[in-house]
């Protein structure tokens, strides 16, 4: 199975991502990343691992009909939804580690909440640096490490207590490149000059603590390793650990800390 085949999800899953996860989690970060990347009218912008396209379409709104926006993702279903929402933008299937564009093709290269999933992050950053023009900017956004997450940190500790120590690695995908020094070092190794690195405390919204637990467990390999009883016990535990973030009507606003980094391509 190729990398492209492994990453395919159904159009239904991609529509659920767009209707549920984009508003609940990802939309907040798009304007922050676009500010960090210093996107301005007239520029050409690439959104790497665009998913259903929240960064690309927010950038297009910022460009207000000028310039060019391209969204690239491995996943055909994500791109189908992106195209349905914004048929006027360019959407292209491809791998972040082998970008199908010539050197220097874009003024800005943006990548939101995806670097952690790339098997070879250094190669992907080298590719982003290659397709950005001299003097251009590569900007990335990832989640901070679990020990800097006020809600997800305690949630994962509780899940590990209940499901056993193997659960830690199974729930770790989102948090693996959240060390700011390591991230900056990988970006510099790709030949880029870091010009800004900061954290932002955002929030993930869920209708209930159980809904957050469902999303985390079902979105990870843990779901196939635990019994229904342990899953129910984790849902119960979520009510306790997420109480500080649960409102009177039961909805959760879980703080989510992210890293935003901008790097300049030498020259230009």
Min CB(167)–ligand SAM separation in Å: 20
Told to check if 95 binds ligand SAM by CB under 6 A, we report: yes
Min CB(2)–ligand SAM separation in Å: 11
Q: Which is nearer to ligand SAM, 51 or 67 (CB)?
A: 51
- Site residues for ligand SAM, 185-224, by CB under 6 A, read none
- Site residues for ligand SAM, 47-76, by CB under 6 A, read 49-51, 54-55, 73-75
Angle separating helix axes 76-85 and 54-63, nearest 10 degrees: 30
Pick from 176, 175, 137: which is nearest to 261 by CA?
A: 137
- Site residues for ligand SAM, 98-137, by CB under 6 A, read 112-114, 117-118
Whether the CB-CB separation of 231 and 177 falls below 8 Å is answered with no
The four Cα atoms 106, 112, 115, 117 give a dihedral, to 10 degrees, of -130
Burial (CB count <10 Å: 0-12, 13-18, 19+), residue 2: exposed
Q: Which is nearer to ligand SAM, 50 or 145 (CB)?
A: 50
- Using Cβ positions, the residue closest to ligand SAM within the complex turns out to be 51
Rounded to whole angstroms, how far apart are CA atoms 71 and 83? Answer: 10
Angle separating helix axes 29-36 and 54-63, nearest 10 degrees: 60
Min CB(78)–ligand SAM separation in Å: 4
Whether the CB-CB separation of 124 and 96 falls below 8 Å is answered with yes
Min CB(27)–ligand SAM separation in Å: 8
Residues that bind ligand SAM (CB under 6 A): 7, 22, 26, 49-51, 54-55, 73-75, 78, 95-97, 112-114, 117-118
């Amino acid at each position: 199975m190729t990398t492209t085949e492994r990453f395919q999800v159904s159009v239904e899953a991609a529509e659920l991502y767009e209707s549920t996860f984009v508003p609940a989690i990802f939309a907040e970060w798009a304007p922050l990343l676009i500010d960090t990347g210093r996107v301005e009218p007239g520029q050409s912008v690439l959104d790497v691992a665009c998913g259903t396209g929240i960064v690309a379409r927010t950038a297009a709104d910022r460009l207000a009909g000028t310039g060019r926006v391209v969204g690239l993702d491995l996943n055909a279903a994500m791109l189908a939804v992106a195209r349905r929402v914004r048929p006027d933008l360019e959407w292209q299937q491809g791998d972040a580690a082998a970008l199908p564009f010539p050197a220097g093709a874009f003024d800005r290269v943006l990548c939101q909440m995806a670097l952690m999933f790339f098997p070879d992050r250094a190669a992907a950053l080298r590719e982003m640096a290659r397709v950005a023009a001299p003097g251009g900017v590569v900007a990335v956004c990832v989640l901070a490490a679990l020990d800097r997450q006020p809600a997800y940190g305690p949630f994962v500790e509780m899940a590990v207590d209940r499901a056993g120590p193997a659960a830690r690695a199974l729930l770790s995908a989102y948090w693996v490149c959240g060390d700011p020094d390591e991230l900056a070092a990988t970006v510099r190794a790709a030949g880029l000059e870091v010009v800004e690195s900061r954290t932002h405390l955002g929030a993930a919204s869920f209708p209930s603590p159980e809904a957050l637990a469902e999303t985390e467990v079902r979105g990870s390999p843990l779901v196939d390793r635990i019994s229904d009883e342990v899953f129910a016990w984790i849902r119960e535990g979520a009510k306790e650990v997420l109480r500080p973030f649960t409102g009177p009507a039961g909805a959760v606003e879980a703080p989510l800390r992210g890293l935003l980094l901008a790097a300049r391509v030498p020259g230009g």
